[in-house]
Structure formats: C-alpha cells, structure tokens
C-alpha cells in the first residue's frame, strides 16, 4: 500500500495502529529510519495494557540531554498502511510536547518490509 506525503513538513507523519495486551489504538508517528526501535509514549503504552515501569528490559537511549535508561517492551502487533508485524519491540519514552507526533516508527517495525520513499512524487510505499 502507499500513502501521499506532505513533503513540506519537517517530519514524515504516518498513522500507526498498535495492538496491545488489552486494547488497540491509532496514533500519529514520525517515520524515522534513524531510530533502532519504535518509540511509544508512556500514556499510550499504559492504555494498551503494558506496565513499562515493571519491564525487566531496559536499554540506553541517547537524547539531546544525555543518556537515559528506558523500558523495552514487545508490542502484540503494529499496522501501517495495511501491513502488520507481530511482536514488535518498542521503547517507552515521551517526545517533547511540541512534537508534531506521539512517537517514532523505527527499524524494529520497518525492517519487516520493503519501504519505498519517493520524495519527488511525495509517496511512501510499504510492501
């Protein structure tokens, strides 16, 4: 499937459906090929039924303010443009309030697919 991009924006926003332990939710994320993991905000992870504060998995994340230890969880399923992946690893961390999106769609999801990003045509395709 493909979607039309607004290439004038500073991020590539995309609607992402996340299926959790007890609920599913659609949120806006930025496509981020530089992010190793999908990044989900705390509030959304809790709505989905996860308890990130109890997660035994923690990784170091480099931020503008330094290195932070953040929870690593496994999402039941993630869907974008009709394509789904199960058991997607995600880190739980809030983006700044001024962000255009709720989270980042990183490589832990993207590596499951062939991604075609055509800026000249303004099209994102996931196969």
Instruction: Give the pLDDT score at 8.
Output: 77
31 domain residue, yes or no:
yes
Instruction: Give the pLDDT score at 5.
Output: 81
pLDDT tens digits along 76-120 = 999 999 999 999 999 999 998 888 899 999 999 999 999 999 988
Q: What whole-number distance in Å separates Cα of residue 10 and Cα of residue 99?
A: 10
126 domain residue, yes or no:
no
Phi, psi (rounded to 5 degrees) for 16: -130, 130
Across 1-127, the runs of DSSP E, i.e. the strands, are: 2-4, 13-19, 24-31, 38-40, 58-63, 66-80, 83-92, 103-105, 115-118, 123-126
Length of the chain: 127
49 domain residue, yes or no:
yes
pLDDT tens digits along 60-73 = 998 878 899 999 99
CATH of the domain at 35: 2.40.70.10
6 domain residue, yes or no:
no
The model's pTM is: 0.91
Report the candidate in 48, 10, 9, 57 with the shortest Cα–Cα distance to residue 27: 48
38 domain residue, yes or no:
yes
Q: What percent of the chain has pLDDT over 90?
A: 77
Mean pLDDT score, 15-33: 96
97 domain residue, yes or no:
yes
Domain encompassing residue 68: 12-120
How many domains does the chain contain in total?
1
Instruction: Give the pLDDT score at 85.
Output: 98
Q: What whole-number distance in Å separates Cα of residue 71 and Cα of residue 27?
A: 20
81 domain residue, yes or no:
yes
77 domain residue, yes or no:
yes
Instruction: Give the pLDDT score at 43.
Output: 96
Query: Per-residue pLDDT for 123 more than 80?
Result: yes
């Amino acid at each position: 499937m493909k979607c039309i991009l607004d290439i004038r924006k500073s991020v590539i926003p995309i609607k992402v459906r996340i299926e959790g332990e007890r609920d599913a939710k659609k949120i806006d994320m930025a496509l981020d090929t530089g992010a190793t993991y999908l990044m989900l905000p705390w509030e959304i992870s809790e709505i989905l039924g996860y308890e990130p504060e109890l997660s035994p998995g923690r990784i170091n994340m480099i931020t503008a303010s330094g290195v932070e230890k953040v929870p690593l969880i496994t999402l039941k399923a993630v869907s974008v443009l009709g394509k789904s992946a199960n058991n997607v690893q995600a880190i739980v961390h809030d983006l700044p309030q001024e962000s255009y999106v709720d989270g980042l769609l990183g490589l832990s999801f993207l590596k499951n697919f062939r991604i075609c990003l055509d800026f000249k045509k303004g099209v994102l395709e996931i196969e």
